[in-house]
Structure 1
Amino acid sequence: MMDGELGAFLRSRREARRPAEVGLAEGPRRRTPGLRRAELATLAQVSVEYLTRLEQGRDTRPSPEILAALADALRLDSADREHLRQLASAQHARQLCSGDRPTVSRTVRPTVRAMLDALRDTPAYVLNRLGDVLAWNEPFDLLARPLGLLDGSRPNLVWFVLTDERAREHYPQWSALADQQVAELHLLRRGDPASDAFAERLARTAGAPFVDRWQRRPITAARTGLLTVRHPAAGLLRLNVEALELAEADPQRLVVQLPADAATANALDELAGRRPGRLRAVAG
């Protein structure tokens, strides 16, 4: 899938952009959900034939000037523009170094594990770019294991959210969480075939809840924010989430979950067998 990702991303943004948003009339009998190719070609001052080749993956080396023109015509935000630039750069790099493929990290440095243990009161864990939960501390085990997230020998957050029915029960804002997980997966692909193979397995297992999101090519993923969890033992928890990039050749993230209110702080203390008052709520 990555071979045609540049064109697929452009097409997804063209189909998502309403004509009125770029100063065009909607007009009758419109079959295309967004802009027609001819409309975008006119706005970007490129030929329809060339735009078709780009979207179909038959031309993968557009100039920076053409990319900028397409981005301007589509009114892309800064996140989409940066992703478009990265896709073009990744394609160029793959053509220059076709045998050089990034690998997906499966191990965590001892110093990172020590950091997790040092966060002895606060749930924390480490993810790789596919959403594999590589390591975690005891507070996160107490929080996540009753949900089913840590079942199996290789727990994966994306897989759990998109394929496990328990996720819809435990996450009241499941749809927003699913959007965020798919956006992270898109954002961190980095040209690795393993990411696309994982996405294909997800598509076969999860079906439309994943495929519909994947085809929209979301890439704006909030790495901080409020997560609400319906815990079978601790009740409703409100957690402020912070995700920190680790210094790895392949992206890893240290994710820390902090109680967002006093009730959650007390519930986490009780879950860990502590007297309430050890944890303090942290405003988002």
Structure 2
Amino acid sequence: MMDGELGAFLRSRREALRPAQVGLPEGTRRRTPGLRRAELATVAQVSVEYLTRLEQGRDTRPSPEILAALADALRLDDADREHLRQLASVNHSRQLCPGERPTVSPTARPAVRAVLHAIRDAPAYVVNRLGDVLAWNDPFDRLARPLGLLDGVRPNLVWFVLTDERARDHFPDWAELADHQVAELHRLRRGDPAIDAFAERLARTVGAPFTDRWQRRPVAAPTNGVRCVRHPQVGLLRLAYESLEVADSDHQRLFVQLPADAATAAGLDRLLGRLPGQLRSVAG
């Protein structure tokens, strides 16, 4: 699936851009969504033939100048520009090091696990770039286990959100959460065949709810924010989350969840068996 990804990404952004956004008339009898290839080629000042080769994967090494021109013409934001740069870099590195393949970390380092368990008052967990939950502390266990998220030998957050019907009941903003999970997979691909294989499994299992998001190729997912959880034991919780990249860990991330309001702080106190008021809420 990574082969031809540079061209597929350019095509997805071209088809999402309306002619009026680049100062072109909409016209009539338009057979393709968004810009036509000829229209993008005109705005970017490249030939239609060259753009066709890029989108079809027959040219995978555009110059930085061509990439910049296409990014400007497509009105890409910072996240999309960085993703485009990474795709081009992956293609160059594959030709320089064709035998090199990234691996997915199956465990968290002992020191990371120690830090995780030192966080005693807030739910916290570590995931790798596939979304495998590698380690978690007791507050997260008490929060997540009643949801079903920790079922199985190797729980996976992405798989749970997209394949388990309980996730739609537990997360009121399920659609947004699903978008974010797919965006993270795209952001962390970087030529990784394990992520491509995982995406193919999701496509076979989930169908359109996954493939529609995957084909849009979202790449911007927030590293912090507020997530609502409808918990079967303590009701609605508003959890402010922060994610931190773990050093030297092949893109493992540590997530910490804090109550975003007083009601959530009280709910977590009940869930964790604490006296009220021991965990303060944060603004959000």
Which residue of structure 1 aligns with residue 120 of structure 2?
120
1:248 deviates by 2.2
Aligned partner of 1:190 in structure 2 is 190
| Matched letter for residue 138 of structure 1 | D
* Equivalent AA in structure 1 for residue 169 of structure 2: E
Partner of 1:266: 266
Structure 2: tracts of 5 or more residues without a match: none
1:107 aligns with 2:107: yes
- Establish whether residue 254 from structure 1 lines up as the match of residue 254 from structure 2: yes
In the alignment, what sits opposite 2:88?
88
For 1:278 and 1:245, the matched residues in 2 are separated by 28
CA shift, 1:273, in A, is 1.1
CA distance in 2 between counterparts of 1:50 and 1:92 reads 18
Which amino acid in the other structure matches residue 217 of structure 2?
R
| Structure 2 SS opposite 1:9 | helix
Equivalent AA in structure 2 for residue 165 of structure 1:
E
Structure 1-normalised TM-score?
0.99
CA distance in 1, matches of 2:249, 2:60: 26
2 CA distance for matches of 1:8 and 1:248?
31
Give the TM-score normalised by structure 2. 0.99
CA deviation map 1:238-277 (0-9, x unaligned)? 0001000011251000000000011111111111111111
Query: What do residues 127-166 of structure 1 show as CA deviations (whole Å, max 9, x unaligned)?
Result: 1001010000000000001111101011000111011100
CA–CA separation in structure 1 for the residues paired with 2:120 and 2:225: 22
Across the aligned residues of Structure 1 and Structure 2, the Cα RMSD in angstroms comes to 0.7
**Percent identity of the aligned residues?**
80
Unaligned runs of 5+ in 1: none
Which residue of the partner structure matches residue 164 of structure 2? 164
Spell out the pairing of 1:41-190 with structure 2 (5 A cutoff): 41-190=41-190
Q: Which residue of 2 aligns with 1:278?
A: 278
Query: What CA distance in whole angstroms lies between the structure 2 residues aligned with 1:274 and 1:71?
Result: 52
The one-character-per-residue Cα deviations of 1:6-50 (angstroms, maximum 9, x if unpaired) are 001000000000110010110111111100001001111111111
Secondary structure of 1:62's counterpart equals coil
Whether 2:11 is the aligned partner of 1:11: answer yes
Supply the distance in 2 between the matched residues of 1:150 and 1:10 (Cα, whole angstroms).
Answer: 37
Letter in 1 for 2:199: A
One-letter amino acid of the structure 1 residue matched with residue 81 of structure 2: R
Q: Does 1:220 align with 2:237?
A: no
* Distance (Å, rounded) in 2 between the aligned partners of 1:248 and 1:36: 43
The amino acid across from 1:7 in the alignment is G
Deviations 1:52-95 (A, max 9, x none): 11011111000111111111111111111111011100110011
Q: Partner amino acid for 1:175? A: A
Q: Distance in 2 between matches of 1:46 and 1:232?
A: 57
Describe the shift of the 1:249–1:140 C-alpha distance in structure 2 as closer, same or farther (beyond 3 A): closer
Q: Which amino acid aligns with 2:257?
A: Q
Q: Which amino acid aligns with 1:154?
A: R
- Name the structure 2 match of 1:205: 205
Ranges of 4+ aligned residues in structure 1 off by more than 2 Å: none
2:240 is paired with a residue whose SS is strand
Query: In 2 relative to 1, CA 141–196 (structure 1 residues): closer, same or farther, beyond 3 Å?
Result: same
Corresponding position of 1:32: 32
